[in-house]
């Protein structure tokens, strides 16, 4: 008899039949990071084209944020009504088309409007494919969510690197139009797989006759918000290091501009590496220990990165921070989705995106009042908060609804009992 804590593939969805879904979802995660990073590296050229000042450009860029936050709230409902797979495909098409629009604008107002559309597609696809990934993780009975987010990180690194190489040879119009073509091709190939397959959890629920949406009580809503806070703390650090890491290295530690630019690359590469090994960590140590240890590691790394007296020590701190934060966001989104379905994913994603938006301006305000190194220690403080939340929620049991009727195990006395995924226990 296999050990009781041994997770096996969902009995109604053999692992081999889920492999195409896993590959397709991985492609969409990577595409999202690739397209977004490709847009980001062309922001300076778009600024010059539209004649925007730093202030007016900042207002236009709020279009991305506003569109994303509004759509994230609505996408959870769309996923419940139409399914996460079709919504993912539609949002991928919109994302691919809208990324080509900014170079066609010649005023700040027009830029803000098209970025509102781009942000809506970006926010929508994030909720949709995370919802689909939560269902797939539940069916696989393996904690592979970090690997999907690793694909996003690697796609972003590829998009930024490629964009930097061709920025001097292609106009923004040609570059972003190329992203549109690539995005549509990937969507056509991977989207066929998604549209041919029902989400495994939805199939299991239909087989059990569970067609009514889940009614969430106050406690569940509160827990989803708590997991959203973990996502917020993680994304705060990502946004802060993306915007202020290089400046800290160059301004406070007098690093060469090229070395300073490598600061965020060290952080991003470490985060991608941590996410690629996330499934193994979660299987060995479980969600609680991974979150608690990751948050504590990130806090230590960021204190080193912010307060170190030398450039290379600070770079080491940035890398340690990336390793620590790597799996916090995926675990938070997965736990919220297990509790509340697409609505939980939407809530956690909105919290996380909010943290990424709040991070850079908060660091700026604190840097003006105190100093940039002191301001960056707020990243360490929030990482410690995420670690504390992980410990405080260690007894919360998180189980996908599809497991209730379809995933059972035999106890040592031979009686049947529902298999439960305990967030406090290692997932093996």
Please determine, for residue 202, whether its predicted confidence score (pLDDT) is greater than 80: no
pLDDT band of 346, cuts 50, 70, 90: confident
Residues 113 and 257 reside in one and the same domain: no
Residues 254 and 202 reside in one and the same domain: no
Q: Token pair 């998604």 is at which residue?
A: 194
Residues 428 and 282 reside in one and the same domain: yes
Q: Which 3-state string (H, E, C) describes the chain? A: CCCCCCCCCCCCCCHHHHHHHHHHHHHHHHHHHHHHHHHHCCHHHHHHHHCCCHHHHHHHHHHHHHHHHHHHHHHHHHHHHHCHHHHHHHHHHHHHHHCCCHHHCCCHHHHHHHHHHHHHHHHHHHHHHHHHHHHHHHHHCCCCHHHHHHHHHHHHHHHHHHHHHHCCCCCHHHHHHHHHHHHHHHHHHHHHHHHHCCCHHHHHHHHCCCCCCCCCCHHHHHHHHHHHHHHHHHHHHHHHHHHHHHHHHHHHCCCCHHHHHHHHHHHHHHHHHHHHCHHHHHHHHHHHHHHHHHHHHHHHHHHHHHHCCCHHHHHHHHHHHHHHHCCHHHHHHHHHHHHHHHHHHHHHHHHHHHHHHHHHHHHHHHHHHCCHHHHHHHHHHHHHHHHHHHHHCCCCECCCCHHHHHCEEECCCCCEEECCCECCCCCC
Between the CA of residue 343 and those of 91, 125, 328, 366, 402, what are the distances in Å? 17, 14, 19, 34, 16
Share of the chain above pLDDT 70, in %: 84
Please determine, for residue 13, whether its predicted confidence score (pLDDT) is greater than 80: no
Residues 37 and 148 reside in one and the same domain: yes
Mark which of 212, 230, 263 sits at the end of a domain. Answer: 212
105-141 confidence digits (pLDDT tens): 989 999 999 999 999 999 999 999 988 988 888 888 8
* Domain annotation covers residue 121: yes
- What pLDDT score does 406 carry? 40
Q: Residue 20 and residue 49: Cα distance in Å, rounded? A: 42
More confident residue, 360 or 389: 389
Q: Do 291 and 324 form a contact (C-beta atoms < 8 A)?
A: no
* Domain annotation covers residue 6: no
Residues 240 and 184 reside in one and the same domain: no
Find the domain containing 268 and state its range: 214-403+416-428
Residues 36 and 69 reside in one and the same domain: yes
Residues 107 and 40 reside in one and the same domain: yes
* Domain annotation covers residue 8: no
* Domain annotation covers residue 410: no
61-84 confidence digits (pLDDT tens): 888 888 888 888 899 889 889 999
* Domain annotation covers residue 194: yes
* Domain annotation covers residue 1: no
Residues 121 and 245 reside in one and the same domain: no
Please determine, for residue 11, whether its predicted confidence score (pLDDT) is greater than 60: no
Backbone angles phi, psi at 394, to 5 degrees: -65, -25
Long-range contacts of 375-378 (CB under 8 A, 24+ apart): 375/244, 376/240, 376/244, 376/248, 376/302, 376/305, 376/306, 377/302, 377/303, 377/306, 377/307, 378/236, 378/240
* Domain annotation covers residue 4: no
Q: Do 367 and 382 form a contact (C-beta atoms < 8 A)?
A: no
Q: How far apart are the first and last CA of the chain?
A: 15
> In this structure, what CATH number is given to the domain that contains residue 219?
1.20.1250.20
Give the Cβ contact number of residue 19 at 10 Å.
11
Number of domains in the chain: 2
Mark which of 169, 188, 212 sits at the end of a domain. Answer: 212
143 Cβ neighbours under 8 A, 6+ residues apart: 137, 278, 279, 282, 283, 287, 334, 427
* Domain annotation covers residue 106: yes
Task: Report strand pairing: 408-410 vs 416-418.
Answer: antiparallel
Residues 98 and 220 reside in one and the same domain: no
Q: Residue 223 and residue 213: Cα distance in Å, rounded? A: 18
Residues 191 and 228 reside in one and the same domain: no
Residues 188 and 314 reside in one and the same domain: no
Residues 27 and 156 reside in one and the same domain: yes
Between the CA of residue 288 and those of 37, 249, 260, 361, what are the distances in Å? 31, 33, 34, 31
205-247 confidence digits (pLDDT tens): 444 444 444 556 788 888 889 999 999 999 898 888 877 887 8
Whole-structure pTM value: 0.75
Q: What is the CA radius of gyration of the chain?
A: 21
Mark which of 167, 185, 212 sits at the end of a domain. Answer: 212
pLDDT band of 365, cuts 50, 70, 90: confident
């Amino acid at each position: 008899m296999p050990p009781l804590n041994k997770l096996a593939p969902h009995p109604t969805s053999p692992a081999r039949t889920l492999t195409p879904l896993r590959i397709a979802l991985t492609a969409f995660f990577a595409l999202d990071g690739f397209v977004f990073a490709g847009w980001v590296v062309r922001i300076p050229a778009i600024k010059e084209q539209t004649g925007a000042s730093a202030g007016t450009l900042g207002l236009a860029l709020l279009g991305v944020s506003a569109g994303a936050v509004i759509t994230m709230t609505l996408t959870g409902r769309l996923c419940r009504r139409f399914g996460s797979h079709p919504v993912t495909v539609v949002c991928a098409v919109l994302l691919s088309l809208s990324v080509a629009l900014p170079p066609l604008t010649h005023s700040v107002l027009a830029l803000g409007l098209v970025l509102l559309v781009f942000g809506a597609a970006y926010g929508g696809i994030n909720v949709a494919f995370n919802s689909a990934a939560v269902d797939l993780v539940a069916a696989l009975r393996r904690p592979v969510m970090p690997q999907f987010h690793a694909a996003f990180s690697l796609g972003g690194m590829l998009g930024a690197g490629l964009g930097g190489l061709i920025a001097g040879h292609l106009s923004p119009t040609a570059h972003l139009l190329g992203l549109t073509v690539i995005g549509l091709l990937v969507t056509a190939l991977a989207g066929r797989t998604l549209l041919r397959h029902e989400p495994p959890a939805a199939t299991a629920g239909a087989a059990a006759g569970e067609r009514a949406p889940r009614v969430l009580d106050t406690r569940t809503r509160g827990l989803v918000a708590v997991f959203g806070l973990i996502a917020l703390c993680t994304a705060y650090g990502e946004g802060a290091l993306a915007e202020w890491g290089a400046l800290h290295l160059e301004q406070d530690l007098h690093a060469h501009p090229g070395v300073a630019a490598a600061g965020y690359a060290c952080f991003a590469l470490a985060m991608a590496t941590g996410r690629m090994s996330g499934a193994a960590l979660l299987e060995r140590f479980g969600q609680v220990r991974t979150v608690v240890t990751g948050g504590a590691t990130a806090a230590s790394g960021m204190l080193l990165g912010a307060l170190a007296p030398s450039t290379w020590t600070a770079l080491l701190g940035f890398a340690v921070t990336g390793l620590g934060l790597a799996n916090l966001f995926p675990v938070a989104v997965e736990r919220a989705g297990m509790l509340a379905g697409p609505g939980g994913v939407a809530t956690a994603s909105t919290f996380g995106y909010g943290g990424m938006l709040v991070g850079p301006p908060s660091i700026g305000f604190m840097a003006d009042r105190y100093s940039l190194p002191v301001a960056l220690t707020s990243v360490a403080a929030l990482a410690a908060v995420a670690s504390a939340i992980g410990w405080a929620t260690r007894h919360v049991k998180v189980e996908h609804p599809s497991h209730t009727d379809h995933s059972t195990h035999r106890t040592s006395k031979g009686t049947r009992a529902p298999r439960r995924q305990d967030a406090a226990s290692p997932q093996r």
